[in-house]
Structure formats: structure tokens, C-alpha cells
């Protein structure tokens, strides 16, 4: 597919995802593609990552597994691309529907906004329950400001790897690039952490995911800054860029800290810092240490507003590029 067609499909997909989101009536009847990716990753894990192997053997198996999974996803992308090409204009619409499945604008905003709604309506217990659906940290260890910070951090991080990165990889490499990215990102979330079981087997998936998300994380800073300018004015826009440049590297991830720092600057709140995952304390510096140290439900709502404006800027950018290639 030509790049102008890719951009047209991506533009339609962004608009469709923004309006429809993730229809639960559909995924309650058929498996989501990411669930299929997860099943493939789990199978590779079961077959190639037994505890009887040495660390070096597990690492080699992990490299082989992620490469094989990427080849399969790229091949699937080519098959879908050729299939949709058979249907002309209708094929473009069908492809836009498939691309929209892998974007997370409305679903992410809905899940994050639900945390603020739960805090206001049900108090801390409701907020903890709502935030447990979108973050991996122990909800019972979180007070109300920590619940709010967790929701905002998830919003910023997933803007990068749930919206910007898949849009970027599709724009550049079409369906093969999009499916490969989503397979890699799913693998990183499942086996890319540093537990005893996965520190070797998931090493390649984690490193490749870092590389794949590098450009989107930096682009997301500019998009969040633009969204902050639209919703909150020039000063938050400047702060988003300034804090991202200063504190973006404080996060343990080479990428996640960039959009989180931009959002922290845009909202003038502190993010990150020490937190607990699975009973283990993760100690990290506070991002935007000069910002407000008490995040609120209102900050979550402001973050969602900035997020949607940033998505709007991304859609406008794709539209502008499409016009340039006409």
C-alpha cells in the first residue's frame, strides 16, 4: 500500500477509535487479536522457558521465540494487506477497522476517567478498585493522591505505546509494522520484566520493545505539550517540554519517563517516585519534584482533557501529512 493510502487508513482508524473505542459486545463474542498474541507468547513461554535450563539457554530461547513471533506477525500483516487490497475502497475501510482495534484512545481515556469517577462517588476503596484495572502496582498500598498519580502515569505512558507508537509504525510500515509492534509490545508486558523467570527469557523482547518505542516516546512529549497548550495555555505547554527534557530520563524505562514527565509538567504535579509491585518496593526519583505533591481526581480529569487534545493533534498531523502526499 502506498504511504498516502496508509495515512488515509490511519486517519479513518483514529477517528473510528475515538468515536467507538473498544466495543465490549464484540470482544465478549470473539477473541481480541491481542488475546491471540498473548496465547502465542504463552505457548512459547511454556515450551522454551523451563526452569531446568540455564540462564544463557533461556536467553537464547527468548531471542528465538520473539524473532519467530515477529516473523509470524509480519507475515500475517502481509496476508491481511493483500486480502484488503482485493476490495478496493471497501478494503480501505475494512483495514481502517482493523487498525482501530490496535489503537487505545477512547478505551484508555474511559478507564482512566473511571478512576476519578470512582474516587468522587465511592471514595478511596472505589478508586483503588478502578485503578487496579489499569496498573500493576498493589492498590491496597495506595492512598488517594497515589491512586491519582498512578492513573495519570498510566494515561501518559499508554498514550505513547497505545496510541502514538502503533500509529507511527502503521504509518511507516503498514499492517506488517503494526502487527509486529503489537506482538512485541504484548510480549514485553508478559515476559519483559525482571523477575527470576523472565530476566533471561524476556531479555530480547524487552530490549526490542525499548527500541520500538523510542521514537514514539519522544514524539509523545511534543504531542502532550501541544495538547496542554490547547487545553491549559502556553505556560503548561512550556512546562511539559521543560520537565520532559529535565526529568524524562529519571524513570527506570528509557521511554516511559518521557510522556510521564511531559504530563507531570503540563498538570504541575509530581509523578513516579517509590511504589510497590507484588510486595516489592521500587524506589525511583520523583518526576517534577517541584510540582504539587498531592494529585487529585481533578488532575486525572485535566489529564484526560490534555490526552484527548493530544490525540486530536496527532490526528491533525496525520491529516496534514496525507494532504502533503496527495
Q: Is the pLDDT of residue 1 over 70?
A: no
pLDDT, residue 128, reads 95
* SS3 call for 239: helix
Computed over every residue of the chain, the mean pLDDT equals 94
pLDDT(280) > 70: no
**Terminal alpha carbon distance of the chain:** 14
Report the pLDDT averaged over residues 146-158: 96
User: What does the pLDDT look like over 100-109, one tens digit per residue?
Assistant: 999 999 999 9
Q: How far apart are CA 68 and CA 49, in angstroms?
A: 15
List the beta bridge partners of residue 271.
Answer: 287
pLDDT at 319 over 70: yes
Cell of 216: 514514539
Task: Output the pLDDT for position 279.
Answer: 59
Closest CA to 87 of 13, 22, 9, 172: 9
pLDDT band at 281 (very low <50, low <70, confident <90, very high): low
In 3D space, the residue among 290, 236, 275 whose CA is nearest the CA of residue 153 turns out to be: 275
Per-residue pLDDT, averaged over 15-19, amounts to: 96
pLDDT (0 to 100) of residue 104: 94
pLDDT tens digit sequence for 197-221: 999 999 999 999 999 999 999 999 9
* 131 and 142 Cβ atoms separated by less than 8 Å: yes
Amino acid at each position: 500500500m502506498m504511504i498516502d493510502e496508509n495515512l488515509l487508513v490511519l486517519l479513518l482508524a483514529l477517528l473510528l477509535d475515538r468515536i467507538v473505542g473498544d466495543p465490549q459486545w464484540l470482544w465478549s463474542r470473539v477473541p481480541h487479536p491481542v488475546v491471540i498474541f498473548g496465547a502465542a507468547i504463552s505457548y512459547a513461554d511454556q515450551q522454551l522457558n523451563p526452569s531446568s535450563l540455564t540462564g544463557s539457554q533461556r536467553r537464547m530461547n527468548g531471542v528465538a521465540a520473539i524473532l519467530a513471533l515477529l516473523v509470524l506477525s509480519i507475515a500475517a500483516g502481509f496476508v491481511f494487506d493483500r486480502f484488503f487490497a482485493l476490495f478496493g475502497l471497501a478494503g480501505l475501510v475494512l483495514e481502517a477497522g482493523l487498525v482501530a482495534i490496535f489503537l487505545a484512545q477512547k478505551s484508555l481515556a474511559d478507564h482512566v476517567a473511571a478512576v476519578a469517577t470512582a474516587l468522587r462517588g465511592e471514595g478511596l476503596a472505589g478508586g483503588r478498585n478502578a485503578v487496579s484495572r489499569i496498573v500493576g502496582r498493589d492498590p491496597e498500598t495506595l492512598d488517594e493522591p497515589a491512586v491519582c498519580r498512578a492513573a495519570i502515569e498510566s494515561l501518559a505512558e499508554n498514550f505513547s505505546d497505545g496510541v502514538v507508537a502503533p500509529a507511527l509504525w502503521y504509518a511507516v510500515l503498514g499492517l506488517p509494522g503494526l502487527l509486529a509492534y503489537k506482538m512485541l509490545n504484548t510480549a514485553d508486558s508478559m515476559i519483559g520484566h525482571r523477575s527470576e523467570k523472565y530476566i533471561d527469557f524476556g531479555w530480547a523482547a524487552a530490549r526490542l520493545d525499548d527500541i520500538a518505542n523510542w521514537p514514539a516516546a519522544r514524539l509523545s512529549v511534543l504531542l502532550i505539550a501541544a495538547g496542554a497548550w490547547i487545553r491549559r495555555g502556553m505556560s503548561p505547554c512550556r512546562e511539559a517540554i521543560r520537565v520532559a527534557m529535565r526529568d524524562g530520563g529519571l524513570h527506570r524505562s528509557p521511554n516511559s519517563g518521557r510522556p510521564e514527565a511531559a504530563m507531570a509538567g503540563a498538570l504541575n504535579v509530581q509523578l513516579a517516585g517509590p511504589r510497590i509491585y507484588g510486595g516489592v518496593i521500587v524506589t525511583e526519583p520523583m518526576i517534577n519534584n517541584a510540582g504539587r505533591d498531592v494529585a487529585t481526581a481533578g488532575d486525572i480529569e485535566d489529564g484526560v482533557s490534555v490526552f484527548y487534545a493530544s490525540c486530536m493533534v496527532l490526528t491533525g498531523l496525520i491529516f496534514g501529512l496525507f494532504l502533503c502526499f496527495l
